[in-house]
Each structure stands twice: as C-alpha cells, then as structure tokens.
Amino acid sequence: MREGIATNILADRLGKLTKEKLLQRRQSTTNKLIYHYLPTQKALDLLPVVRELADWSSDHLFGKKETPAKLEL
C-alpha cells in the first residue's frame, strides 16, 4: 500500500507520535519486517477535541462556495 508521503517524513512523524505516546508500535505477527501503529488511549481521548476543531473550522473558516473536508471518525 502506498502512503502518499515520503518514507522518511512518515517515519519521522510516526516516531514523534510514538514518543508522545499517541501511538503504540506493534510488530506484525506474520512478518517481522512490518510494524502496525495503533492509537493509545491518550490519542483516543483527543478525538472529541479534534472533531470540535474540525466542525468549528468548517463553520467559520470556509466561504459559502467552498466545501471543507468532513472529519469521519
């Protein structure tokens, strides 16, 4: 699967999110070269805040002709 982001940038961002304990890294049970990143409870606790910010920005930062992306969680 293609991420649509440079590998070094993705690795850096995943590392930062892991360091801040927003993601946990788990090794794949089928392939030792693959890691899965899962949200921690700390990250899940942020979802209502992110949703509210997305809703606020949709209401206040976009013009009538623009269609903002909807946050689907």
Read off the pLDDT of residues 10-20 as tens digits, 9 standing for 90 and up: 999 999 999 99
pLDDT class for 4, splitting at 50, 70, 90? Answer: confident
pLDDT at 55: 86
Closest alpha carbon to 50 in 31, 27, 36, 70: 70
- Indicate left, alpha or beta for 4 from its phi (over 0: left) and psi (-120 to 50: alpha): left
pLDDT tens-digit map of 12-52? 999 999 999 999 999 999 999 999 999 999 999 999 999 99
Task: Quote the pTM value.
Answer: 0.70
pLDDT of residue 61: 82
